[in-house]
Structure 1
Amino acid sequence: MSAADTVLLAIGTKKGLWLATSSDRATWSLSGPHFLMNEIPSIGIDTRSGRTRILVGVRSEHWGPTVAHSDDLGATWTEPDHGAIRFGDGDGAALERVWQIRPDAEDRPGVVWAGCEPISVWRSVDGGEHFDLERGLWDHPHRPEWGAGYGGAAAHSVVPHPQDENTVHVAMSTGGVYRTTDGGASWEPRNAGITAYFLPDPNPEFGQCVHKLARDGVVPDRLYAQNHHGVYRSDDSGDTWKSIADGLPTDFGFVMLTHPRREGTVWVVPIKADGERIPPDGRPAVYRSEDAGNSWTRLDSGLPELDYNVVLRDAAAVDTADPVGVYFGTRGGEVYGSADEGATFRTVAAHLPDVLCVRAAVIES
């Protein structure tokens, strides 16, 4: 990271948004809260086109959900009239929550994806100011059978292909992984090998409760999934999956992060089980693999010896600095950051409300 660069860390919580900046990833300046008393379940930081745009999914108990954006690092915010995401009169649905905001590849400026509740995917071509419903997925014959995970019916992972604009993967709770290869006209389930032990048929075509999906930073057809019990890798764009949970203390969790430049490097944050949602033995740790999940290393230097709070699916992120920074926040309101790919952690912020979402980006000072 050059001396002219700054890392921006955006922290969405149950009661607002905080923004942290640092030039050395050791000391941080924190501003906020923005959108006080509003839930911030999703954040996207778009550094394309020579500017930094922060996009946030905002959910008000009174006004409902929308997407707001700032082009001046939070000094001012803009929300489109009538909301950025709206179902049509004939859709028979109303927006409940924006679970995911994902800027597309560098060579597709303006394209931003949103995954929402009820389970739906939306695409923007104007930098996230207005979104259109991906009707190929909304009208899918499987949709009546998709269910709600514990937190709601969420399309929580939208993973565009970096080289093929027509290929996008989506993961939902509950429904599993779906893929389009024709720009959203049609979507097919891609869950072979991912189990759903809670269903009468534990190996269904769809219905899996995938918690998070991520793409390898170098091998675009390699995907990683953290499931409701199960950690998996696909080497064929989701056609088949195999377990990579050996070496982890538990196969349950929500987080799945990938290195932006190094093949096979991933991070997960294990949780004991769905019935006891705490770190194993109450000892929080990040686990890193550098061989695509064939082996894992426990990383806990700088983390508290005991902490019974968990990390939610989007409450973790990596930056693109060298070495890569790794960040996560807990439901206890603590946020930790590592400037050495997880080898050591420092506290970035403490005593915040429940952390729902964390996003990091390197920006020009």
Structure 2
Amino acid sequence: MATKTLLLLGTRKGAFLLESDAERRDWTVRGPFCEMWPINHVLGDAETGTIWAAGGNEWFGPAIWKSSDLGRSWSHSSRGLAYPEGSTPVKSAWSLAVGHGRVYAGVEPAGVFASADGGESFAEVKGLSEHPSRPYWMPGGGGLILHHVLLHPDDPERYWVAISSAGVFETRDGGISFTPRNRGVRCDYMPEDQRYPETGQCVHSIVMAAGRPDRLYQQNHCGMYRSDDGGENWVSIEQGLPSSFGFPAAAHPSDPDRVFLIPLNGDIAGRFMPDARAAVWRSADAGRTWADGRTGLPQEGAYFNVLRQAMATDRHDRPGLYFGTNSGSLYASLDEGASWSRIAENLPVIASVETMVIAA
């Protein structure tokens, strides 16, 4: 059966779709979609072929866009994406997760909303909004945003959220209650005797290992980490990397020991590629050792950044790895990050990259 490979991009000027076959050598670019709204995350559901997009800002408000025909037409809804009257308004929808019959949206100011009717309407998950630590959450450099929702593949009541800069939280009862999952994650910007608080960590990205839902990888403002117990404890895996600071992470689609990171040169040193030489760092042993992949990437003048949701893998037997930059370039690797090619350029700032593989 012929296969279609899609790359789904969220950008500052709408959503874009790139299309190829199973070989992934030639790509067609379509877009911008979503009326060129700022789109923070685009996600596809391979089972149904539906594509979702989360976006908005203070001027537009938040909205979840939906396409059931691979981007040819779109509709959007903001029904229910609001906090109670008197609260700070929801500025934008930042992240999406789809599974177990629901669509989840992470928003700014940080919160999560769930839809049980295919994205037509949403309801606030109050167990997170009413968490006792909520009054003490502080915004990161990009705002107080909930930028990742990770669903457990087998347990519909269990999922994790990541908030900058409050940390990681987990629910095991469908959102009635949430527990902080930040033990072992340090805050370098706190006084020495307060370096490991229960909440307040500036998590940048969190991904789940293939086939091991309790193994999580995290790239943080202050280090890179792995948890083997669903976030109850984290261990540092940054030794061997050029920096303890970065944004995106991606998990291998079939090997739980393989993970990919893009460290940057530091939070106050420009936030670009170390030494202005681009590389994707990869581990085959759960972060114990690291190797850099540079072939095909610019090795001078690489002053670009890669944002927290802008790297992903596909589901082919020979998996592809992709990342997009804030300068509008999109890179692809078909050998697990060893070598790269640029497959698109001159796009708007790329905020997110996701993949979808479907029958053609």
Give the shorter-chain TM-score range: over 0.9
Q: Name the residue aligned to 2:39.
A: 40
Q: Name the residue aligned to 1:7.
A: 5
Deviation, 1:61, is 5.8
Structure-2 change in CA distance of 1:290 and 1:85 (3 Å):
farther
1:185-264 to 2 correspondences below 5 Å: 185-200=176-191, 201-264=194-257
Give the 4+ runs in structure 1 shifted more than 4 A. Answer: none
1:94-133 to 2 correspondences below 5 Å: 94-104=89-99, 108=100, 110-133=101-124
TM value normalised by structure 1: 0.94
Q: Name the residue aligned to 1:156.
A: 147
Deviation, 1:36, is 4.8
Deviation, 1:146, is 0.5
Structure-2 change in CA distance of 1:68 and 1:353 (3 Å):
same
TM value normalised by structure 2: 0.95
- Rounded to whole Å, the distance in 2 between the matches of 1:266 and 1:171 is 18
Pick one of 274, 286, 297 that aligns with 1:303: 297
Q: Name the residue aligned to 1:282.
A: 276
RMSD, aligned CA: 1.5
Q: Secondary structure at the match of 1:136?
A: helix
Q: Secondary structure at the match of 2:76?
A: coil
Tell me, yes or no, if the aligned pair for 2:187 and 2:195 is still in contact at 8 Å. yes
Letter in 1 for 2:178: W
Letter in 2 for 1:12: G
Q: Secondary structure at the match of 1:144?
A: helix
Deviation, 1:131, is 1.9
Letter in 2 for 1:54: I
Letter in 1 for 2:146: A
- Rounded to whole Å, the distance in 2 between the matches of 1:260 and 1:128 is 27
- Rounded to whole Å, the distance in 2 between the matches of 1:250 and 1:304 is 19
Letter in 2 for 1:335: L
Matched, 1:52 2:45: no
The alignment of Structure 1 onto Structure 2 pairs a total of residues equal to 355
Tell me, yes or no, if the aligned pair for 1:336 and 1:346 is still in contact at 8 Å. yes
Tell me, yes or no, if the aligned pair for 1:87 and 1:93 is still in contact at 8 Å. no
Unaligned runs of 5+ in 2: none
- Rounded to whole Å, the distance in 1 between the matches of 2:356 and 2:295 is 23
Tell me, yes or no, if the aligned pair for 1:12 and 1:41 is still in contact at 8 Å. yes
Taking only the aligned residue pairs, the percentage that are identical comes to: 41
Tell me, yes or no, if the aligned pair for 2:83 and 2:124 is still in contact at 8 Å. no
Tell me, yes or no, if the aligned pair for 2:273 and 2:305 is still in contact at 8 Å. yes
- Rounded to whole Å, the distance in 1 between the matches of 2:126 and 2:62 is 20
Q: Name the residue aligned to 1:350.
A: 345
- Rounded to whole Å, the distance in 2 between the matches of 1:259 and 1:188 is 27
Tell me, yes or no, if the aligned pair for 1:38 and 1:61 is still in contact at 8 Å. no
- Rounded to whole Å, the distance in 2 between the matches of 1:274 and 1:136 is 32
Matched, 1:336 2:331: yes
- Rounded to whole Å, the distance in 2 between the matches of 1:85 and 1:152 is 22
Letter in 1 for 2:10: G
- Rounded to whole Å, the distance in 2 between the matches of 1:247 and 1:119 is 33
Deviation, 1:88, is 4.6
Pick one of 123, 130, 135 that aligns with 1:144: 135
- Rounded to whole Å, the distance in 2 between the matches of 1:139 and 1:69 is 29
- Rounded to whole Å, the distance in 2 between the matches of 1:190 and 1:33 is 37
Structure-2 change in CA distance of 1:334 and 1:143 (3 Å):
same
Tell me, yes or no, if the aligned pair for 2:34 and 2:65 is still in contact at 8 Å. no
Q: Secondary structure at the match of 2:127?
A: helix
- Rounded to whole Å, the distance in 2 between the matches of 1:40 and 1:316 is 16
- Rounded to whole Å, the distance in 2 between the matches of 1:203 and 1:157 is 22
